[in-house]
Amino acid sequence: MSELDRIRWQCRRGLLELDLILNRFLEREFETLPAGQLALFKELLGEADTLLLAWVMGQEEAPERYMPMIRKLQVL
């Protein structure tokens, strides 16, 4: 299984809205994502679905280390 396949599997969440956001990001950005940002994205995928969606939707403030990735997710 390739790294992209593993990450795509991790993007399958319990919330449809989050699935759509994460998979759209993966489709558009994976090929050009620098290693540091890819590591941050994979770390972000370890967070709880409801918390991650609240960060992306701007309902809660994300930890500072995640903000660059959250901003990228919000643009899509």
> What pLDDT, in 10s, does the model give residues 29-61?
999 999 999 999 999 999 999 999 999 999 999
Pick from 10-14, 39-43, 67-71: least confident: 10-14
Domains by residue range for the chain, with CATH: 3-75 (1.10.150.250)
**pLDDT value of position 14:** 86
Which pair of structure tokens corresponds to residue 24?
């759209």
Task: Collect all residues with Cβ–Cβ distance below 8 Å to 37 and sequence separation of at least 6.
Answer: 68, 69, 72
The SS3 of residue 8 is helix
- Tell me: pLDDT of 28 over 90: yes
> Quick check: 60 and 22 in contact, CB under 8 A?
no
Q: Alpha-carbon dihedral of residues 70, 72, 65, 9, nearest 10 degrees?
A: 70
The fraction of the chain above a pLDDT of 70, given in percent, is 99
The structure's pTM equals 0.88
**pLDDT value of position 56:** 96
